[in-house]
Amino acid sequence: MSGRTRVKFCGLTRPEDVDAAVAAGADALGFVLWPGSKRALDEQRLAELSERVPAFVTRVGLFVDPDPGLVARSAEHLDLLQFHGDESPADCEAAGRPWIKALRMRDGLDLHAAAEVYGGARALLLDAYRPGVPGGTGETFDWSRIPAGLAKPVILAGGLSADNVAEAIAAVAPFAVDVSGGIEAAPGIKDAARMAAFLRAVRRADDARFDA
Ligand SMILES: O=C(O)c1ccccc1NCC(=O)[C@H](O)[C@H](O)COP(=O)(O)O
């Protein structure tokens, strides 16, 4: 799947950060609905932030082994569901909405097999693995572990920032990149300058790829 690298900014908690992310040109915004995160939103806050997102920007809700009721109530404010726990394919399909599966790159993970198991996913988000931490680790993983020819579009995540995203794009050529900690001043507090710098770095990397 070619074309420019899409960008998802994740873990937004403030209206000003939603507005800044949209102004910077993000393609998708991630809202964490897992209560164990410092970036977690309640349903009311999700509704408030979701209403600020214009057309053509995808609203992604992040869940970790959620109660089906939470997913159902949240889904009206979302365009895409991201499941970041041990959800089965049936769990992911249950809400009847488009979804992506996050896979943490633990040793021995067979990505080709996972792409078959989660065949209904719109993409696979590949993230760093730290035991006991479902996401938002701020850590990278060995990008060379991602095999060519996966049957699903790849969203690369884990420890990305304006400083390393060009290297990540050159190494993986993902369909999209995802970042949370690398655009923050503090957990859940996004930095507009870091968001803009991240997007500039992605555009430069794409220009280098397409001009090669
Ligand atoms: O961001 C979180 O706090 C979080 C908590 C629990 C599950 C998922 C979470 N984030 C999901 C994401 O898609 C993050 O953007 C991804 O893990 C990358 O985070 P980072 O390494 O900080 O860029």
Residues 92-143 have pLDDT tens digits of 999 999 999 999 999 999 999 999 999 999 999 999 999 999 999 999 999 9
Q: What average pLDDT does the structure give for the chain?
A: 97
Pocket test for ligand 1, best of 10, 17, 38 (most atoms within 8 A of CB): 10
Instruction: Kindly report the protein residue whose alpha carbon is nearest to atom 6 of ligand 1.
Output: 135
User: Is residue 19 a part of any domain in this protein?
Assistant: yes
Q: Whose CA is nearest to atom 7 of ligand 1?
A: 135
Q: Can you give the residue range of the structural domain that contains 172? A: 6-211
Report if residue 186 sits inside a domain: yes
Contacts of 30 (CB under 8 A, 6+ apart): 8, 9, 10, 11, 12, 60, 61, 62, 82, 178, 180
Distance between CA atoms of 171 and 25, rounded to whole angstroms? 23
Domain contains 33? yes
Active site residue ranges: 10, 127
CATH of the domain at 177: 3.20.20.70
Q: Over pLDDT 70: what percentage of the chain?
A: 99
Total number of domains in the chain = 1
- Please check whether residue 159 lies inside any domain of the structure: yes
